[in-house]
């Protein structure tokens, strides 16, 4: 329903990452899988998640006698181990083991170094693919007679810097994340309770707004997004105020809000 509301194209979804098997984090999955089926999806869908997810989904499909129009490629990660689960020439995704009542993992998305940007307005005529590649690597382009045609310094701009984002769902305050999240540009971290409920947070394997902010400060991150608030808080502002005392650049991850990661 929210994917529809926010006008996200279903056809652009090729990978789904699940953090853990508590209902508030994946009960919507079978509904989404059914919707994709009703739309007649053909391309493979990759689903990353904890062990058990494949069995649960397979059982639901079995007893509803559903034969999906597409294949699911389940990739269950190993709990408590940080591993690279996805990599291409632009980015990689790593699991971030968390401390929750059941196996739970966040995800760290890291862009790879980017190539230089071609200033199209500075280029006369058409560039061949190999010329584009040379310029993006910062190398000058010569013709067959060894005459300079394009000076990379003049027709390209420096690359954008690579950005990173981490999604840390349900977890107790975990000090080792200070190292894992070091200098990440944008971090989503749960903040289920305020700090006056620290005991409750610890007993239920959750984090307080203050703890999340202290983690953000200690890990030297760019921006912190707080989420997963207990329903006891009708007004979320006190959570934000508490967190900002420890880490100024904090926002509430309100459904539908947009946050700029890169410039």
Catalytic residues: 24
Taking CB under 5 A as the binding criterion, the range among 20-28, 70-78, 85-93, 155-163 that sits at the site for Zn ion is 20-28
Q: Which is nearer to Zn ion, 22 or 114 (CB)?
A: 22
Taking CB under 5 A as the binding criterion, the range among 18-26, 68-76, 213-221, 242-250 that sits at the site for Zn ion is 18-26
170 binds Zn ion (CB under 5 A): yes
Taking CB under 5 A as the binding criterion, the range among 19-27, 53-61, 119-127, 249-257 that sits at the site for Zn ion is 19-27
Least separation in angstroms between CB 100 and Zn ion: 6
Taking CB under 5 A as the binding criterion, the range among 14-22, 52-60, 109-117, 139-147 that sits at the site for Zn ion is 14-22
Question: Three-state secondary structure along the chain?
Answer: CHHHHCCCCHHHCCEEECCCCCHHHHCCHHHHHHHHHHCCCCCCEEEEECCCHHHHHHHHHHHCCCCCCCCEEEEECCCCCCCEEEECCCEEEEEEECCCCCCCEEEEEEECCCCCEECHHHCCCCCCHHHHHHHHCCCCEECCCCCEEECHHHHEECCCCCCEEEEECCCCCCCCHHHHCCCCCEEEEECCECHHHHHHHHHCCCCEHHHHHHHHHHHCCCEEEEECCCCCCCCCHHHHHHHHCCCCCEEECCCCCCCCCCC
Candidates 232, 120, 243, 221; CA nearest to 165 is 221
Q: Which is nearer to Zn ion, 41 or 174 (CB)?
A: 174
Candidates 184, 263, 196; CA nearest to 225 is 184
Least separation in angstroms between CB 22 and Zn ion: 3
Q: Which residues contact 94 (CB under 8 A, 6 or more apart)?
A: 82, 83, 84, 85, 107, 108, 110
Q: Which is nearer to Zn ion, 22 or 75 (CB)?
A: 22
Q: Which is nearer to Zn ion, 34 or 230 (CB)?
A: 230
Strands 148-150 and 186-190, bridge-based pairing: unpaired
Sketch the per residue contact string, 72 through 101, with Zn ion: x for CB under 5 A, - otherwise: ------------------------------
Q: Which is nearer to Zn ion, 164 or 192 (CB)?
A: 192
Least separation in angstroms between CB 35 and Zn ion: 23
Least separation in angstroms between CB 20 and Zn ion: 6
Least separation in angstroms between CB 188 and Zn ion: 13
- Site for Zn ion (CB under 5 A): which residue of 13, 15, 21, 22? 22
Q: Which is nearer to Zn ion, 156 or 207 (CB)?
A: 207
- Site for Zn ion (CB under 5 A): which residue of 3, 24, 39, 238? 24
Residues contacting Zn ion: total by CB under 5 A: 3
Least separation in angstroms between CB 25 and Zn ion: 5
**Positions that interact with Zn ion (CB under 5 A):** 22, 24, 170
């Amino acid at each position: 329903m929210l994917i529809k509301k926010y006008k996200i194209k279903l056809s652009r979804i090729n990978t789904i990452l699940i953090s853990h098997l508590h209902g508030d984090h994946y009960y919507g999955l079978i509904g989404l899988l059914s919707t994709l089926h009703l739309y007649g999806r053909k391309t493979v869908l990759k689903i990353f998640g904890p062990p058990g997810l494949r069995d649960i989904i397979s059982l639901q499909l079995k007893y509803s006698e559903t034969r999906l129009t597409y294949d699911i490629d389940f990739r269950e990660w190993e709990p408590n181990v940080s591993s690279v689960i996805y990599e291409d020439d632009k980015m990689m995704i790593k699991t971030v083991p968390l401390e929750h009542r059941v196996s739970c993992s966040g995800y760290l998305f890291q862009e790879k170094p980017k190539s230089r940007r071609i200033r199209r307005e500075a280029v006369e005529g058409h560039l061949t693919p190999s010329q584009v590649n040379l310029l993006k690597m910062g190398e000058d382009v010569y013709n067959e007679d060894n005459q300079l045609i394009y000076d990379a310094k003049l027709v390209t701009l420096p690359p954008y810097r690579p950005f990173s984002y981490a999604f840390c769902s349900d977890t107790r305050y975990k000090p080792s994340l200070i190292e894992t999240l070091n200098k990440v540009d944008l971090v989503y971290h749960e903040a289920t309770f305020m700090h006056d409920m620290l005991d409750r947070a610890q007993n239920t394997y959750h984090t307080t707004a203050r703890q999340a902010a202290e983690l953000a400060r200690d890990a030297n991150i760019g921006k912190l997004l707080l989420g997963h608030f207990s329903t006891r808080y009708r007004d979320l502002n006190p959570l934000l105020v508490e967190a900002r005392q420890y880490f100024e650049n904090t926002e509430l991850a309100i459904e539908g809000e947009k946050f700029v990661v890169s410039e």
